[in-house]
C-alpha cells in the first residue's frame, strides 16, 4: 500500500522538476532574447581589400579573403571568428565580371557578403619597330618603311590596324585595341641628305640692261647638315636678254614624294638709252671702210695720217694677218665698228643668236687689238639688204634688239661703187664727189680691201678740203643714215 502511494508522488515530483526546468529555460531564453534584442547583435564581415577589384587579362588572382564575427552594442565584437566559406571563382583568361560570395552561419541564420572582381584588358598593345641594316633615308628618296608589328595580349596581331603618320623628321605609329588601350611610338628620321635651302647669289629682283646674254649670278643649296646640294638644283624659265620685259627664273629641288624647295628670281630687262643723234654744223663727210683690215689698210692709214683725216673702219675677221691694223687705226684716232666676223650672210642671218655669235667674235678681236669693245656696227649688206629674206623679219628684229642693247648701226647715203659696180679708181672718185655734193652730211661707203678704192682716197680728201668739207669719225651720236628695212 505504501509502495503504491510513493510512486505517484515520485512521478508528481519529477514532473514538477521538469516544469520548473522548462520554466527556467524559458526564462533564460527569454532573458537571452531580451539581451540579444537590447544588444542588437549581428554578424559583421570584414572583406579584405576592395569589395570591387579590377585585374588584368590573364593576371594571376588570389582572393584576399574575408573574416566574420558577431557584434553588438552591449558586448561589442565577439571573441571568436566565425567560419566563412567562399562561393564562386574568377577566370582571368576570360574578360568579364565575376562575383565571390562569403557565407557564415550564426544563431541558426545564414549571412553573406560579396566581392566583385572585373577581369579587364588593361595592357596596351606593343608596337615593335623593325630596322634594316645600313639603310639611310634621304630627303630625295623619302623614307621607305622598314617594317613594324603590333601585338596585343587579348586581341592578338593588330599590325594591320596601325595608323602610320609620316612627318618631316619622324614617323608616328598608333594602334588601339578593342578595350581602347592606345599605344603610340615614334621613329626619328635621320636623313643622309636633309631638306635643302636654296640661297640666291646676287639680288633676287634684278634690273639689267638689254644685252646679248644674261649671266645668272648663281645660287647655292645646302641641307641642315651642311651638305652642298647645289648640283641638284634645276633652273627653269628663260631670260631673253635683248628683249626688254619682265622675266622669272625658278630654282627648285624636288624629291620623289613631289615635295619641292623653290626660290624665284625676277629679272627686268630694260632698254639701254642711246645718246641723242647730233647733226654737226657745216659740210661733213664721214669716210667709212668695210670688210678690212686687209693688205691695203696700212696704205690707207698712211694717207689719212698725212692729211690728219679721221675715218671709221667696220672690220671683219677675214684677214687675221692684218688684224694689227685695227689696233693701229684705233691708236691713230679712227673709229672702230663691227661689220662681221665671217661676212657669210646665210650664217649670220640664220637667227638672232647666230648674228650675236658672229658679232661677238668680231668684238673679241677688236678688244684684243684696242683693249675695249665698241658700240658701233654696220649690218653686212646694210640694214636694207634682202639677202636675209630666207629668214623673214630678221632685219627688223635685229635693228630693234641691237638698238635696245645700246648699239648704234650705220648705213650710208653715199656709195663709192667699189662693192661691184666698178673697179676703176676714177669712177670711185667721181661717185664720191657727186654723192657728197648732194648732201650737207655724207656717210661714204668704201672698202679698204679694194686697192683701186684705197687709191682714190687721197684725191677725195684733197677735193673735200678744198671745197670746205670737214672729215669726222662716227661716234654714238652721229647720224645713222638708216635705210628703209626691207625684211
Distance of alpha carbon 106 from alpha carbon 70, whole angstroms: 8
Grid cell locating 402: 641691237
Query: Three-state SS string across the chain, please?
Result: CHHHHHHHHHHHHHHHHHHHHHHHHHHHHHHHHHHHHHHCCEEEEEECCCCEEEEECCCCCCCCCEEEEEEECCCEECCCCCCCEEECCCCCCCCEEEEEEEEEEECCEEEEEEEEEEEECCCCCEEEECCCCCCCCECCCECCCCCEEEEECCCEECHHHCEEEECCCEEEEEEECCCCCEEEEEEECCCCCCCEEEEECCCCEEEEECCCCCCCCCEEEEECCCCECHHHCEEECCCCCCCCEEEEEEEEEECCCCCEEEEEEEEEEECCCCCCCCCCCCEEEEEEEECCCCCCHHHHHHHHHHCCCCCEEEECCCCHHHCHHHHHHHHCCCEEEECCCCCCHHHHCCCHHHHHHHHHHHHHHHHHHHCCCCCEECCCCCCCCCHHHHCCCHHHHHHHHHHHCCCEECCCCEECCCCCCCCCHHHHHHHHHHHHHCCCEEEEEEECCCHHHHCCHHHHHHHHHHCCEEECCCCCCCCCCCCCCCC
Chain center to CA of 349:
41
pLDDT of residue 4: 53
Could you tell me which residues come within 8 angstroms of residue 386 by beta carbon, excluding any fewer than 6 positions away?
486, 487
pLDDT of residue 5: 53
Q: Quick check: pTM over 0.75?
A: no
Per-residue pLDDT tens listing for the chain (487 residues): 455 557 777 777 777 777 777 776 666 766 656 656 677 788 999 999 999 999 999 999 999 999 999 988 877 888 889 999 999 999 999 999 999 999 999 888 999 999 999 999 999 999 999 999 989 888 888 889 999 999 999 999 999 999 999 988 899 999 999 999 999 999 998 888 888 999 999 999 999 999 999 999 999 999 988 999 999 999 999 999 999 999 999 999 998 888 899 999 999 999 999 999 999 999 999 999 999 999 999 999 999 999 999 999 999 999 999 999 999 999 999 999 999 999 999 999 999 999 999 999 999 999 999 999 999 999 999 999 999 999 999 999 999 999 999 999 999 999 999 999 999 999 999 999 999 999 999 999 999 999 999 999 999 999 999 999 999 999 999 999 999 999 9
pLDDT of residue 27: 66
Q: Quick one: which of 48, 39, 46, 27 has its CA closest to 107?
A: 39
Main-chain phi, psi angles of 473, to 5 degrees = -85, 150
Looking at the DSSP bridge assignments, the partners of residue 249 are 265
* Domains, the chain, ordered by start: 42-120 (2.60.40.10), 126-188 (2.60.40), 196-270 (2.60.40.10), 283-471 (3.20.20.370)
pLDDT of residue 31: 63
Any idea what the Cα angle at residue 23 is, between residues 20 and 28, rounded to 5°? 125
- HSE at residue 439, side-chain half, CA atoms within 13 A, is 22
Distance of alpha carbon 34 from alpha carbon 77, whole angstroms: 18
State the residue for C-alpha cell 638644283: 233
Distance of alpha carbon 141 from alpha carbon 131, whole angstroms: 17
pLDDT of residue 257: 81
Distance of alpha carbon 478 from alpha carbon 483, whole angstroms: 15
Could you tell me which residues come within 8 angstroms of residue 341 by beta carbon, excluding any fewer than 6 positions away?
316, 317, 358, 359, 361, 362, 365
pLDDT of residue 1: 46
Distance of alpha carbon 27 from alpha carbon 275, whole angstroms: 146
Burial environment of residue 334 by CB neighbours within 10 A (0 to 12, 13 to 18, 19 or more): buried
Amino acid at each position: 500500500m505504501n509502495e503504491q502511494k510513493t510512486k505517484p508522488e515520485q512521478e508528481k515530483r519529477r514532473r514538477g522538476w521538469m516544469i520548473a526546468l522548462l520554466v527556467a529555460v524559458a526564462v533564460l531564453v527569454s532573458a537571452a532574447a531580451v539581451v540579444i534584442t537590447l544588444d542588437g547583435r549581428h554578424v559583421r564581415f570584414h572583406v579584405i581589400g576592395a569589395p570591387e577589384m579590377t585585374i588584368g587579362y590573364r593576371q594571376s588572382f588570389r582572393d584576399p579573403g574575408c573574416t566574420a564575427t558577431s557584434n553588438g552594442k552591449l558586448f561589442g565584437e565577439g571573441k571568436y571568428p566565425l567560419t566563412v566559406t567562399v562561393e564562386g571563382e574568377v577566370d582571368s583568361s576570360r574578360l568579364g565580371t565575376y562575383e565571390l560570395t562569403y557565407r557564415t552561419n550564426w544563431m541558426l541564420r545564414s549571412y553573406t557578403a560579396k566581392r566583385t572582381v572585373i577581369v579587364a584588358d588593361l595592357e596596351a598593345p606593343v608596337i615593335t619597330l623593325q630596322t634594316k641594316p645600313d639603310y639611310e633615308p634621304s630627303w630625295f628618296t623619302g623614307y621607305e618603311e622598314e617594317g613594324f608589328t603590333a601585338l596585343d595580349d587579348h586581341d592578338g596581331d593588330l599590325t594591320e590596324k596601325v595608323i602610320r603618320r609620316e612627318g618631316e623628321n619622324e614617323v608616328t605609329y598608333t594602334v588601339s585595341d578593342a578595350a581602347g588601350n592606345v599605344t603610340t611610338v615614334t621613329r626619328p628620321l635621320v636623313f643622309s641628305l636633309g631638306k635643302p635651302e636654296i640661297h640666291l647669289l646676287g639680288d633676287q629682283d634684278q634690273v639689267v640692261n638689254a644685252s646679248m646674254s644674261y649671266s645668272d649670278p648663281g645660287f647655292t643649296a645646302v641641307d641642315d647638315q651642311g651638305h652642298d646640294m647645289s648640283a641638284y638644283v634645276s633652273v627653269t624659265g628663260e631670260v631673253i636678254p635683248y628683249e626688254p620685259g619682265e622675266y622669272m627664273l625658278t630654282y627648285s629641288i624636288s624629291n620623289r614624294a613631289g615635295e619641292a624647295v623653290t626660290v624665284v628670281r625676277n629679272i627686268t630687262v630694260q632698254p639701254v638709252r642711246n645718246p641723242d643723234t647730233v647733226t654737226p654744223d657745216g659740210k661733213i663727210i664721214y669716210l667709212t671702210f668695210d670688210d678690212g683690215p686687209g693688205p691695203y689698210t696700212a696704205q690707207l692709214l698712211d694717207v689719212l695720217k698725212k692729211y690728219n683725216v679721221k675715218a671709221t673702219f667696220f672690220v671683219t675677221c677675214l684677214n687675221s694677218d692684218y688684224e694689227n691694223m685695227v689696233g693701229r687705226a684705233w691708236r691713230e684716232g679712227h673709229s672702230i665698228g663691227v661689220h662681221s666676223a665671217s661676212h657669210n650672210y646665210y650664217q649670220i642671218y640664220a637667227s638672232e643668236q647666230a648674228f650675236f655669235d658672229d658679232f661677238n667674235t668680231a668684238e673679241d678681236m677688236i678688244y684684243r687689238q684696242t683693249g675695249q669693245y665698241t658700240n658701233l656696227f654696220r649690218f653686212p649688206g646694210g640694214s636694207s639688204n634682202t639677202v636675209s629674206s630666207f629668214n623673214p623679219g630678221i632685219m627688223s628684229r635685229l635693228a630693234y634688239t641691237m638698238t635696245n642693247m645700246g648699239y648704234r648701226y650705220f648705213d650710208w647715203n653715199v656709195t663709192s661703187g667699189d662693192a661691184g659696180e666698178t673697179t676703176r679708181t676714177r669712177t670711185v672718185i667721181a661717185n664720191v664727189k657727186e654723192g657728197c655734193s648732194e648732201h650737207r652730211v655724207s656717210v661714204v661707203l668704201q672698202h679698204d680691201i679694194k686697192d683701186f678704192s684705197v687709191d682714190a682716197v687721197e684725191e677725195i680728201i684733197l677735193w673735200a678740203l678744198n671745197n670746205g668739207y670737214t672729215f669726222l669719225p662716227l661716234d654714238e651720236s652721229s647720224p645713222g643714215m638708216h635705210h628703209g628695212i626691207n625684211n
